[in-house]
Amino acid sequence: MRLGVNIDHVATLRQARYPAGPGAPFAEPSPVDAALEALAGGAHGITAHLREDRRHIQDRDIAELREQVPLPLNFEMGNAPEIVAIALRTKPASACLVPEKRAEVTTEGGLAVRAGRAGLAETVKALQGEGVRVSMFIDPLPEEIEASAELGAEMVELHTGSYANAVAEAERAEHAGRLAQGAELAHRAGLQVNAGHGLTTRNLPGLAGVPHLEELNIGHHLIARSVAIGLRAAVAEMLEAMAVTWCGEE
Ligand code: PXP
């Protein structure tokens, strides 16, 4: 199973002090340096979300990550014409389509693929025309999985946020069960199954029963943990937790 490291929060920290972004003299920390640290820790890919409001990752970050980091770039994006145009120019290895609201702190809920099919079809086709593999960030609902397959997406990323946020054990187990069913259904529909949002080394073990997972995309916990032990070690720690959870390796 692969680990994609979301480095948005590195840019969040930089923007807090240097709102002019990566071009500002003395700007730090650098998302590229963070991505290279993630690589040294064993990461298999880097995810960055270029939001319309540019609150963290900037256009120049995307170009630099693409040019300077020898890992597949997963371009997380809302379906907005300006962002789609940048994705088409950048030609990342993959693009993950997400819903995006300006007022949200982080991505809330999955993409409404079925309801938004008409608007998404052209974007999926355009991205694939540039050799970009497309993922849909969705809640583990049968209708959204089916709609993603019908649109021709190669992958779905199952939204693990509700699972991660559940405090009561029974509620958490219920969400894990829904994720397992969703993963089964997506796999049967021929989709690569990824997952992400809110995952930590503590809550990972509860997902041991979710089959067919090929990639996890994790950001906040890894960057938070890196404050104490560094990103390289945080990534290695997560890879070990993944191996223990799904392969029983100690
Ligand atoms: N996957 C998607 C589609 C996301 O929007 C995010 C948050 O940016 C993540 C994964 C990573 O979530 P977290 O930062 O909670 O690990």
- How far is it, in rounded angstroms, from Cα 101 to Cα 227? 28
- How far is it, in rounded angstroms, from Cα 243 to Cα 211? 14
Question: Does the annotation count 49 as an active-site position?
Answer: yes
198 lines ligand 1 (CB under 6 A): yes
Residue 183's pLDDT band, with cuts at 50, 70 and 90, is very high
Q: Which two tokens stand for residue 9?
A: 């929060």
Give the mean pLDDT of the chain.
Answer: 96
75 lines ligand 1 (CB under 6 A): no
Residue 248's pLDDT band, with cuts at 50, 70 and 90, is confident
157 lines ligand 1 (CB under 6 A): yes
pLDDT one-digit tens code per residue, 91-100: 999 999 999 8
Q: From the CA of 233, how far away is ligand 1's center (Å)?
A: 20
Task: For residue 13, give the 3-state DSSP assignment.
Answer: helix
* Candidate list 9, 159, 197, 221, residue with the active-site label: 197
- pTM for the whole structure: 0.95
Instruction: Work out which ligand 1 atom sits closest to the CA atom of 6.
Output: 11
- How far is it, in rounded angstroms, from Cα 77 to Cα 92? 12
Q: For residue 180, is pLDDT > 90?
A: yes
Q: From the CA of 101, how far away is ligand 1's center (Å)?
A: 14
pLDDT at 250: 60
pLDDT one-digit tens code per residue, 98-155: 998 767 777 778 999 999 999 999 999 999 999 999 999 999 999 999 999 999 999 9
Question: Does the annotation count 221 as an active-site position?
Answer: no
Residue 249's pLDDT band, with cuts at 50, 70 and 90, is low
Residue among 9, 10, 52, 197 to mutate when testing ligand 1 (max atoms within 8 A of CB):
197
- The structural domain count of the chain equals 1
CA atoms within 13 A on the CB side of 231: 24
CATH code (residue 71): 3.20.20.70
The proportion of the chain whose per-residue pLDDT surpasses 90, expressed as a percent, equals: 94
**Nearest residue by C-alpha to atom 15 in ligand 1:** 198
pLDDT at 101: 76
pLDDT at 36: 98
* Candidate list 9, 49, 159, 175, residue with the active-site label: 49
Q: For residue 201, is pLDDT > 70?
A: yes
Q: Which residue has the tokens 């960030």?
A: 137
Residue among 79, 100, 105, 106 to mutate when testing ligand 1 (max atoms within 8 A of CB):
106
Range(s) of the domain holding residue 173: 2-247
